[in-house]
Structure 1
Amino acid sequence: MANYGLTMEELGAAGCFDPPPPPPPPPPPVVCYRNAEGLTWDRQGEMPSLLKRAVNAGQSVEFFRVG
């Protein structure tokens, strides 16, 4: 600091000791599948039981794809 002629007060006024800003919130999950009741699944985690039952009954999971 002495080499550059800086003081603690100047560094504090410049915000050098302020805590970092909080990280931005994560983006909302992208809904990939939705059933007739409005329940959704974003392919994160295990497939919901309603979709599992429909697929096991012969319905294609693509039938529930959004978009």
Structure 2
Amino acid sequence: MSVEIERAEAVTWIRVQMARHGITPADLLAAGCFGPRPRQRSAVATPARYASANGQTWDGEGAMPDWLQRAVNAGQSADFFRQF
């Protein structure tokens, strides 16, 4: 059986169970079945808050980039790379 067919059958089964028990997508959302939605990036570019001598930049949002994490792990303060 192909993955697409198995997936379609699983979705059908879930829909039947939801209908049988009167569950709506809003009920699932309220119950915490879905993680938080990722933040939408704005169309306006965020200025770089951190920069390396090699021109690598980071706006300070999301996970710390590898280049900055390596520097911090080596003992350098992240504030050293902060742009004012």
TM-score tier (shorter): 0.5 to 0.7
Q: Give the TM-score, by structure 1 length.
A: 0.58
Q: Unaligned regions of 5+ residues in structure 1, if any?
A: 1-24
More helix by share: 2
Which has more radius of gyration?
1
What are the equivalent positions in structure 2 for 1:1-67 lying under 5 Å apart? 26-67=43-84
**d(CA) in 2 for partners of 1:36, 1:30:** 17
| Residues paired across the two proteins, number | 43
Q: Unaligned regions of 5+ residues in structure 2, if any?
A: 1-41
Which structure carries more relative contact order (alpha carbon 8 Å, separation 6+)?
A: 1
Amino acid at match of 1:50: W
Q: CA RMSD in A?
A: 1.4
